[in-house]
Amino acid sequence: MSLVIQDRLVGNYCYGCGKDNPHGLQIKSHWDGESAVCEYMPRPEQCAGPTQFLYGGTIASIIDCHSVGTALAHFYAKEGREPGEGEEIWCVTGKLSVSYREPTPIDQPVTLRAKIVESGERKAVVHTTLESGGTVTATAEVIAVRVPDSWRAGG
């Protein structure tokens, strides 16, 4: 059984993935020890203009949060720990590059799949796909950077 990365993080108010932000998207990324999967149901107000398609900014947001969460879980795993266990690890987006391949229907769930393709001491490169109805509608490369504890305090 995979664990939900975001549910393991204390004080996470991120708009995209923070369980502590009641107004956010609250995505749930399931980590299996090597990769992560997330299923998200778009909301009608997240339309792209035409009401049948998901807004590209929402696509970028959920890809970003899912990818950075995957990197965070990876860094915990490198230390032999589960996300949220022991000293906190946090990552931020160093780069987000999204390729929109096809319009994404808004009336069905999307599935995100992320895997680490490169990893160093402070940086992880994550490849992520977004699928709708079995079709890949967006792909992304995200560089996630591990930040010091002082980052949370604004330092």
* Cβ atoms within 10 Å, residue 154: 5
Gyration radius from the chain CA atoms? 15
> Are the CB atoms for 25 and 18 separated by under 8 Å?
no
58-67 residue pLDDT tens: 999 999 999 9
Query: Are the C-beta atoms of 125 and 100 separated by less than 8 Å?
Result: no
Report the candidate in 62, 136, 137, 54 with the shortest Cα–Cα distance to residue 96: 62
Two structure tokens written together for 94? 């160093």
How many angstroms separate the CA atoms of 149 and 155, rounded?
9
* Predicted pLDDT at 50: 93
* Segment 93-126, tens digit of pLDDT: 999 999 999 999 999 999 999 999 999 999 999 9
Mean pLDDT of the chain: 94
% of the chain surpassing 70 pLDDT: 97
What pLDDT does residue 150 have?
A: 76
Q: CA torsion, points 9, 139, 15, 20, in degrees to nearest 10? A: -30
Average pLDDT per run of 10 along the chain, which is 155 residues long? Answer: 86 93 96 95 95 98 98 96 93 98 98 98 98 98 92 69
pLDDT at 155: 58
Question: Rounded to whole angstroms, how far apart are CA atoms 62 and 56?
Answer: 10
Q: What is the pTM of this model?
A: 0.95
What domains lie within the chain, and their CATH numbers?
Answer: 3-153 (3.10.129.10)
Per-residue pLDDT, 148: 87
Cβ within 8 Å of residue 44, ≥6 positions away: 51, 106
